[in-house]
């Protein structure tokens, strides 16, 4: 097996936020401390080693960075202050950019100015689109968004965007699969891929591995954001125009739904979930309350700011509609779109949101490989069994 | 020349470095006061079972030193005493010493009748609290001065009078009071030594919670014939001889969360203790978990010898956590083998933590102004500035022979302070 060395790897990773990996003296404390590290997939120390040695290929073909949920215990207990938890975070950023064939993600992660310009450009384009494409006959008597930007048209734009983003995310995900599976990609029979699909669904829906960390708070917060986000995603992509039915329209005209309407309640749940989660994360990052919040990359902030801006403007639109203030509603709607769309367009295929695909995918592939090895070489596992045997090292 | 009284040297701490400094200075003809907190001299060395790498007992070296003290009328030993205050400057220090009552005077012949008469028991500090002794006791068989001690709890109890009457030599003085002693000295040698790092702070190891997780000083006492088990190495939980013994190196050492430095002796100490186990329990399997092995120069051959021993396994990886199996009190160590990046959980009967050396000056600094410390509490005087001279493990962690050599060096520095006047 070739073992290519990239002497510039560490410097490259510094552009993704790497700081203290060079301090590591390889005692192995982090790997043995981690609740998620297993004999089959031990991490994080091994990855610090790869970084120090410049073993780019080993990193690209690894699923482990996605198995880490950054509880930060390894960093807290690191005898050298080498912050292995943050190193794994950096690798997730790096892998996200490596999976992205457009090269956009890499620029987004490594240049703050590029990131800002990208967000500004997309927001500007959305603003222009809203300015040029509308009915031209807004309802000035009542706050009715549909009078200016009809739900049916927005829904079409929505689906076009969803299609493009799905294409990008799926093509990047395919590269993720290709990198992680390596030579095994074609060797593993489809039957095994199919038999392990349940893991993809379970991990995607529950993130239960995060719940295995010692501190479960991040899991609860994450579940809140995830379910809130999934709810609002369904309403925006599927129900924006209510599938043609007036009673299910998320983008409803005037008047607002009665208080106990399921669409309205679902909106409240989603708003609460995302607001609680993002506020928790923003305060945490400001106060550096958890190890995971000690090092904030520019993209971490951009993600939280866009998500919270989207939610806050969403709340304000709701208020403007309740008080029936047409001008306010339309203005806020435009701002809302100018925050939401850059967030989706930039974050989903190219940045932090992409983990929604890569994490479950990595966990799924780990199971696929495990199953394949179990079947292929049953008596000779690649992993070293945990045993009290005391043979010579 | 200043008056003779002001030419005395004060040595604080009667462990191997202070003992050496005091004896060397006194043998050079100087008036020396040696102040020791314990009721006996010898410090940690007195607690050790054997030295590395020769595996010989420390008692013979201590005996030689005690013998030298007896020939030195100018060396004044004060046990159970601590320095309360130091004022002045190099060449002229005013020192206040605080001496606790021993309740036993010089008439004591160590006959042991007081012990027989006493029923009250206390934790035995000499054995790290692993057993209990009578409250009228000789600190240990080799104790110098060879004089019994009464615990204050006994003196306050109803038994006190009975114990006093048991003494045929009128050596017990229940009225003995705490004494303040004022001294004028020309220079001070500070040799208050070290303590094992508090293992209760190593939460992930459950030390102090799991009975079969002990530290390396406790292991010395377990191996010693005067120890809590009369030299039998056994599990504190059930007294069984351990089959799988783990030595966990760098337990709280080279760790920014605990002691950031290497104490330099724990590797050799663990190897030495592995030999204790080897000698006593031939079928025991020993694993030494290490990050790096520090066995320099001639000590390397000891390491090489152990590496050849098939019962001893060197395992490269820092143990991250220790869990106890409830009913058996066995221990499960989670550790990565960093040689091949594999994760292991290994079951052990007894775990010996290599807790590092923390200078006693970390918690009890010198009661004087202008003494400088490093980040870890070691005294680090700026080069060439005369004053209070640290020696032994007050200056830097080290082994016994380093400490003895350092003590001689400190004696020379202290003498220079005297003759410069």
Does B346 contact A38 at a Cβ distance shorter than 8 Å? Answer: no
Q: Kindly give the parts of chain B with pLDDT less than 70.
A: 1-6, 382-385, 421
pLDDT value at residue A32: 97
**Domain shared by B292 and B184, yes or no:** no
pLDDT value at residue A382: 47
Taking the CA of residue A189 and the nearest CA in chain B, the distance in Å comes to 28
pLDDT value at residue A379: 58
**Domain shared by B344 and B209, yes or no:** yes
**Domain shared by B231 and B143, yes or no:** no
Number of domains in chain B: 3
The enclosing domain of B392 has a CATH number of 3.50.50.60
**Domain shared by B185 and B63, yes or no:** yes
A33 contact residues in B (CB cutoff 8 A): 204, 320-321, 334
In a domain, B108, yes or no: no
A78 contact residues in B (CB cutoff 8 A): 256
pLDDT band per the 50, 70, 90 thresholds, residue A252: confident
Whole-angstrom distance, CA of residue A209 vs CA of residue A353: 18
Phi, psi (5° rounding) for residue B253?
-110, 160
Q: Which of A42, A77, A392 sits opposite B257 (nearest CB)?
A: A77
pLDDT value at residue B152: 96
Q: Which of A32, A43, A48 to mutate to test the interface with B (most CBs of B within 10 A)?
A: A32
In a domain, B173, yes or no: no
**Domain shared by B70 and B158, yes or no:** no
Q: Which of B251, B306, B318 to mutate to test the interface with A (most CBs of A within 10 A)?
A: B318
B320 contact residues in A (CB cutoff 8 A): 28-33, 77
Q: What ipTM was estimated for this complex? A: 0.89
**Domain shared by B14 and B121, yes or no:** no
Does B342 contact A383 at a Cβ distance shorter than 8 Å? Answer: yes
**Domain shared by B145 and B261, yes or no:** no
pLDDT value at residue B385: 66
SS3 A48: helix
Q: Per CB distance under 8 Å, which residues of A are interface residues toward B?
A: 25-33, 37-39, 42, 45-46, 49, 76-81, 383-384, 386, 388, 390, 392-393
pLDDT value at residue B5: 52
In a domain, B327, yes or no: yes
**Domain shared by B11 and B144, yes or no:** no
pLDDT value at residue A338: 96
pLDDT value at residue B419: 84
Residue where a domain terminates, one of B355, B382, B397: B355
Phi, psi (5° rounding) for residue B196?
-65, 140
∠B331-B336-B338 over CA atoms, to 5°?
145
In a domain, B258, yes or no: yes
Nearest CA in chain B to A389: B346
Q: Parallel, antiparallel, or unpaired: how do β-strands B75-78 and B32-35 relate?
A: parallel
Cβ contact B194:B358 at 8 Å: yes
Taking the CA of residue B221 and the nearest CA in chain A, the distance in Å comes to 27
B204 contact residues in A (CB cutoff 8 A): 33, 77
**Domain shared by B138 and B207, yes or no:** no
**Domain shared by B304 and B380, yes or no:** no
Structural domain range at position B28: 4-100+178-195+358-419
**Domain shared by B387 and B284, yes or no:** no
Distances (CA, A) of B280 to A205, B220, B262, B329, B348: 58, 13, 29, 22, 18
pLDDT value at residue A214: 82
pLDDT exceeds 60 at position A386: no
Q: Which of B320, B340, B347 sits opposite A388 (nearest CB)?
A: B347
pLDDT value at residue A381: 46
Cβ contact A123:A342 at 8 Å: yes
**Domain shared by B245 and B260, yes or no:** yes
Which 3-state string (H, E, C) describes chain B? CCCHHHHCEEEECCCHHHHHHHHHHHHCCCCEEEECCCCCCCHHHHHCCCCCCCCCCCHHHHHHHHHHHHCCCCEEEECCEEEEEEEEECCEEEEEEEECCCCECCCCCCCCHHHHHCCCEEECHHHCCCCEEECEECCCCCCCCCCCEECHHHHHCCCHHHHHHHCCCCCECCCCCCEEEEEEECEEEECCCEEECCHHHCHHHCECCECCEEEHHHHHHHHCCCCCCCCCCCCCCCCCCCCEEEEEEEECCCCCCCCCCCCCCHHHHHHHHHHHHHHHCCCCEEEEEECCCCCCHHHHHHHHHHHHCCCEEEEECCEEEEEEECCCCEEEEEEEECCCCEEEEEEECEEEEEECEEEHHHCCCCCCCCCCECCCCCECCCCCCCCEEECHHHCCCCCHHHHHHHHHHHHHHHHHHHHCC
Distance of CA B298 to the CA centre of its chain: 24
CB contacts < 8 A (A, B): 90
B339 contact residues in A (CB cutoff 8 A): 393
Phi, psi (5° rounding) for residue B5?
-60, -35
Give the residue-averaged pLDDT of A307-325. Answer: 95
């Amino acid at each position: 097996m070739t073992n290519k060395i990239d002497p510039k790897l560490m410097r490259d990773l510094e552009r993704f936020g790497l700081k203290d990996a060079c301090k590591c003296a390889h005692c192995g404390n982090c790997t043995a401390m981690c609740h998620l590290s297993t004999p089959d997939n031990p991490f994080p120390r091994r990855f610090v080693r790869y970084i120090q040695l410049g073993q780019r290929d080993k990193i690209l073909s690894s699923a482990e960075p996605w198995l880490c949920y950054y509880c930060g215990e390894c960093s807290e207990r690191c005898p050298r202050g080498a912050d292995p938890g943050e190193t794994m975070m950096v690798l997730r950023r790096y892998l996200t950019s490596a999976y992205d064939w457009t090269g956009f993600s890499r620029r987004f992660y490594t240049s703050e100015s590029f990131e800002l310009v990208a967000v500004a450009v997309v927001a500007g384009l959305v603003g222009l689109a809203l300015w040029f494409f509308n009915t031209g006959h807004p309802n000035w008597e009542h706050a009715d968004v549909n009078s200016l930007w009809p739900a049916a048209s927005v829904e079409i734009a929505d689906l076009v965007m969803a299609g493009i983003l799905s294409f990008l995310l799926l093509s990047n995900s395919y590269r993720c699969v290709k990198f992680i599976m390596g030579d095994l990609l074609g060797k593993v029979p489809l039957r095994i891929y199919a038999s392990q699909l349940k893991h993809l669904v379970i991990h995607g829906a529950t993130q239960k591995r995060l719940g295995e960390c010692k501190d479960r708070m991040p899991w609860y917060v994450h579940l809140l954001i995830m379910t809130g986000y999934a709810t609002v995603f369904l309403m925006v992509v599927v129900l924006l125009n209510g599938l043609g039915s007036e009673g299910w329209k998320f983008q409803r005209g005037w008047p607002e739904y009665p208080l106990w309407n399921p669409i309205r309640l679902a909106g409240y749940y989603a708003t609460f979930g995302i607001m609680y989660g993002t506020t928790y994360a923003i305060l945490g990052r400001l106060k550096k309350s958890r190890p995971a919040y000690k090092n904030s990359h520019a993209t971490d902030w951009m993600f939280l700011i866009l998500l919270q801006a989207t939610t806050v403007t969403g709340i304000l639109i709701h208020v403007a509609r309740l008080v029936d203030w047409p001008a306010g509603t339309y203005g806020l709607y435009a701002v809302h779109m100018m925050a939401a769309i850059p967030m989706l367009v930039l974050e989903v295929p190219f940045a932090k949101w992409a983990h929604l695909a890569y994490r479950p995918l990595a966990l799924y592939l780990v199971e696929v490989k495990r199953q394949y090895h179990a079947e292929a070489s049953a008596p000779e596992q690649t992993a070293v069994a945990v045993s009290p045997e005391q043979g010579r090292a | 020349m200043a008056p003779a009284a002001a030419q005395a040297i004060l040595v604080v701490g009667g462990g191997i470095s202070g003992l050496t400094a005091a004896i060397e200075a006194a043998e050079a003809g100087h008036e020396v006061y040696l102040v020791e907190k314990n009721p006996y001299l010898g410090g940690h060395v007195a607690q050790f079972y054997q030295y590395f790498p020769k595996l010989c007992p420390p008692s013979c070296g201590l005996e030689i030193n005690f013998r030298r003290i007896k020939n030195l009328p100018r060396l004044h030993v004060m046990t159970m005493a601590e320095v309360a205050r130091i004022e002045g400057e190099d060449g002229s220090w005013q020192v206040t010493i605080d001496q606790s009552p021993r309740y036993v005077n010089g008439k004591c012949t160590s006959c042991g009748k007081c012990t027989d008469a006493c029923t009250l028991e206390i934790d035995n500090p000499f054995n790290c609290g692993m057993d209990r002794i009578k409250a009228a006791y000789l600190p240990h068989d080799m104790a110098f001065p060879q004089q019994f001690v009464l615990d204050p709890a006994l003196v306050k109890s109803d038994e006190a009078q009975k114990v006093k009457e048991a003494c045929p030599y009128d050596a017990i003085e229940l009225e003995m009071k705490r004494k303040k002693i004022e001294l004028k000295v020309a220079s001070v040698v500070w040799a208050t030594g070290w303590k094992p790092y508090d293992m209760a702070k190593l939460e992930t190891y459950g030390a102090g919670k799991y009975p079969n997780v002990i530290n390396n000083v406790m292991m010395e006492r377990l191996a010693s014939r005067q120890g809590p088990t009369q030299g039998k190495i056994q599990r504190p939980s059930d007294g069984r001889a351990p089959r799988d013994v783990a030595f966990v190196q760098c337990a709280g050492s080279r760790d920014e969360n605990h002691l950031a430095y290497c104490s330099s002796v724990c590797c050799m100490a663990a190897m030495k203790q592995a030999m204790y186990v080897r000698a006593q329990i031939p079928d025991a399997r020993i694993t030494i978990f290490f990050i790096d092995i520090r066995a320099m120069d001639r000590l390397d051959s000891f390491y090489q010898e152990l590496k050849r021993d098939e019962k001893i396994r060197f395992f490269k990886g820092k143990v991250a956590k220790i869990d106890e199996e409830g009913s058996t009190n066995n221990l499960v160590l989670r550790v990565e083998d960093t040689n091949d990046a594999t994760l292991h959980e290994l079951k052990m009967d007894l775990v010996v933590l290599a807790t590092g050396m923390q200078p006693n000056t970390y918690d009890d600094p010198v009661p004087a102004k202008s003494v400088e410390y490093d980040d870890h509490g070691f005294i680090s005087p700026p080069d060439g500035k005369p004053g209070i001279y640290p020696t032994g493990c007050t200056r830097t962690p080290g082994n016994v022979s380093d400490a003895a050599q350092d003590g001689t060096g400190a004696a020379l520095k202290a003498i220079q302070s005297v003759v410069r006047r």
